[in-house]
Structure 1
Amino acid sequence: MKRFSACLAGWLLLLAILSGCGFKDIDRRFFVMAIGIDKSHAEEKAYRVSLKLAVPFAKIQPGETNTYRLVSDDASSIAEAVRHIKSKVDKELDFTQSKMIVVGKDVSDELLREDLLDWFLRRRDIQSASYMAVGDPSAEAVLNVKTNSERFPGDSLFLSFDQDGTESSFIATEHLFDFHRRVREKGIDPYLPVIRTIDDGAFLIDQVAVFDEERMKAVLSADETRIFNELVERNQNFDVETKTDKVQFALNVHRFRYDYKIQASPPAIHLKGRIVAQAEESTEAFYTRPWSYYEQLAERQTETRYARLLQKLQRLNVDPVGFGLRYRATRYGGAKEWKAWQALYPKVTFHPKVSIDIKSSGGIK
């Protein structure tokens, strides 16, 4: 009898726990599709948090502008802002579908101190594979862009970064897990793509912001961003533009790979790359000269572009390619080797060598 009473009490306790587990049906939830963080202009408030919420409809047509709701709040922390936003909506906030984190330029430096990253990394319902970007002029402005092609809230941003939609050589992609790794790891510096609003119905992603250990150092131009994607993200979808006084042509790249070696004395980095391409546009027919002529022109200008970008990153004292990480990984001095690399990197000379093989002229003679 005592055993039966104890068993009954256990089942009643279990039922009490399950009845209060907090489960809510899908029609009682707001799915947070994107999160924006800006610096607050209110007194004693550190952040302005914006959440892009999906509004459920039975049928969504392309171009619908009322399929989302943007809710913002000012608070001293992200957790406090989210709790206060809950008082502004009539459904539970669900972060399991959040795939986009946009940080305003005025608060981006705090990412490096992990003040902002801490909240995202501690929550179990925030995906570590979420995309990250810098919003210009603000994260709230970027999330409030209404594009006519969106099928659901945030769809245009997701398609821009995951390459299921557009594939652009100007768009850099960065994830939460990789950004956190770059913030903590010595020898490889973080970067984030920059999303700029053009008007009420469009945005532009053709720049990248590079960081050192303390702050954002610079925003690269569109042309520099394209080269950055080739070296850092090893992008395979890009064009090689070549222009001289006599001819101008463009090559569409089919395959691209490169490797490099670090030389300690004298300090140098020898980068060797190989590109297989097809002629896409030219001011003269490719049959007037040997193809080797065009290959050599493209090789020299590509090597110059790589050297200029690497030298600029060196002057900024940032290393998003990860040369320092390779240096540490191939030596066994620990902290001593890291200090040696910090003294070595500003003195390094870059020697890029690119081999271009044109497989087709892209037309019929």
Structure 2
Amino acid sequence: MKNGAKVLLGLWMLSIAALPGCGFKDIDRRFFVMAIGIDGSGIEDKPFRVSLKLAIPFPKIQPGQTNAYRLVSDDASTITEAVRHIKSKVDKELDFSQSKMIVVGKAISGKILEKDMLDWFLRRRDIQSCSYMALGDPSAEAVLNVKTSSERFPGDSLFLSFDRDGTESSYIATESLFDFHRRVREKGIDPYLPLIRTIDDSAFLIDQVAVFDKERMKAILTSEETRIFNELVARIQSFDIETKTEQVQFALSVHRFRYAYDIRDAPPAINLKGRIVAQAEESTEAFYTRPWTYYEQLAERQAETRYARLLQKLQRLNVDPVGFGLRYRATRYGKEKDWKAWQALYPKVAFHPKVSIDIKSSGGIK
């Protein structure tokens, strides 16, 4: 009996020894893909140029020293083919688990709305759905090739710009992969992407946003329009309001902002009511020379004008990134019938923004 048990134990140990090892590869045998860029190649049978920003592992992270990277590009008919061919250009396995940035070249902005391209990012289990998306000008490859001296690792400057762990700017619009996909597919709300422009090899600028319908890019908003866009779409809580008249010019720093709206069918109108709590940050005259209500009313009128102008511009472009159409569908029960009614109603809608501003402090000492 004992001899039989020993024989079985020996056979079991031999079978374990014959099993192959696990497929996990050590960190020094992997390239971490930090960002993905998609451009047009200009080649008919290979329309896509895919660029991967690969981080080179270091034992210790130091700003400006451990942000070494390798940018590898390839032209192919599909993104899948390009990635597989890039593997033949590197000596380590590609790991997409750390990738948090997807940049699409401005020249092929309409391609990102196509199902095949977007599905590649959504189907891969190792690409995060919370990855940030943006347009690159002049190209995605040029944006990924920017190397800032403050980066702790490759792509860190882009991550900090969009996730608001670093800079908090009212000019930077943030869009993630899952939300962009929702906007592309959902009726009543349209997609948008921030625009990254390269200044030189060590700096970039993010202060504009591109708006889309379901088929193509319709326009790129100015930096001032982008700031107002963020207030309405992202509902940011920290921004500035500049007011200028012939008598006085002043700026308010906003600490709290909220708004609500209702949609009227007859006559077609959207009544938007907003409330802002702010503090005076800069002024050409002391705030104690007049009642504060005077400055509040000036700022309110100009804020209402700015909101109305942007909403009217989006209406002329026939895009709806705010999601008025989605609200209209959600509050009615006709399904497809209500969607067709909204498509006829939106071009005729009159916008009536009403803003209430409460100045809590003059920002100075009397």
TM score, norm. by length of structure 1: 0.95
In structure 2, relative to structure 1, the CA distance for the partners of 1:296 and 1:25 (3 Å cut) is same
For structure 1, which runs of at least 5 residues remain unmatched after alignment? none
What does 1:1-365 correspond to in 2, within 5 Å? Answer: 19=20, 21-64=22-65, 67-365=68-366
Tell me, in whole angstroms, the C-alpha distance in 1 between the residues paired with 2:159 and 2:295. Answer: 38
1:316-353 CA distances to partner (integer Å, 9 max, x unpaired)? 00000000000000000010000000000000000000
Is the 1:60–1:67 contact (alpha carbons within 8 Å) kept by the matching residues of 2? no
Q: How far 1:180 sits from its partner (Å)?
A: 0.3
1:243-277 CA distances to partner (integer Å, 9 max, x unpaired)? 00110000000100000000011100000000000
Which amino acid is 1:64 matched to?
A: Q
Q: How far 1:10 sits from its partner (Å)?
A: 10
For structure 2, which runs of at least 5 residues remain unmatched after alignment? none
Tell me, in whole angstroms, the C-alpha distance in 1 between the residues paired with 2:17 and 2:313. Answer: 64
Residue identity over aligned pairs, in percent, reads: 82
Tell me, in whole angstroms, the C-alpha distance in 2 between the residues paired with 1:127 and 1:6. Answer: 47
Is the 2:304–2:355 contact (alpha carbons within 8 Å) kept by the matching residues of 1? yes
In structure 2, relative to structure 1, the CA distance for the partners of 1:243 and 1:73 (3 Å cut) is same
Is the 1:128–1:175 contact (alpha carbons within 8 Å) kept by the matching residues of 2? yes
325-334 or 107-116, larger mean C-alpha shift: 107-116
184-193 or 54-63, larger mean C-alpha shift: 54-63
Tell me, in whole angstroms, the C-alpha distance in 2 between the residues paired with 1:113 and 1:316. Answer: 20
RMSD: 2.0
Helix, strand or coil at the partner of 2:116? coil
Tell me, in whole angstroms, the C-alpha distance in 2 between the residues paired with 1:303 and 1:222. Answer: 18
Which amino acid is 1:155 matched to?
A: D
In structure 2, relative to structure 1, the CA distance for the partners of 1:59 and 1:313 (3 Å cut) is same
In structure 2, relative to structure 1, the CA distance for the partners of 1:106 and 1:15 (3 Å cut) is farther
In structure 2, relative to structure 1, the CA distance for the partners of 1:152 and 1:65 (3 Å cut) is closer
Is the 2:66–2:153 contact (alpha carbons within 8 Å) kept by the matching residues of 1? no
Tell me, in whole angstroms, the C-alpha distance in 1 between the residues paired with 2:12 and 2:326. Answer: 55
Helix, strand or coil at the partner of 1:116? helix
Q: How far 1:198 sits from its partner (Å)?
A: 0.6
Tell me, in whole angstroms, the C-alpha distance in 1 between the residues paired with 2:246 and 2:60. Answer: 57
Q: How far 1:172 sits from its partner (Å)?
A: 0.3
Helix, strand or coil at the partner of 2:256? strand
In structure 2, relative to structure 1, the CA distance for the partners of 1:294 and 1:26 (3 Å cut) is same
Say how many residue pairs are matched.
362
Q: How far 1:111 sits from its partner (Å)?
A: 1.5
TM score, norm. by length of structure 2: 0.95
Tell me, in whole angstroms, the C-alpha distance in 1 between the residues paired with 2:164 and 2:12. Answer: 52
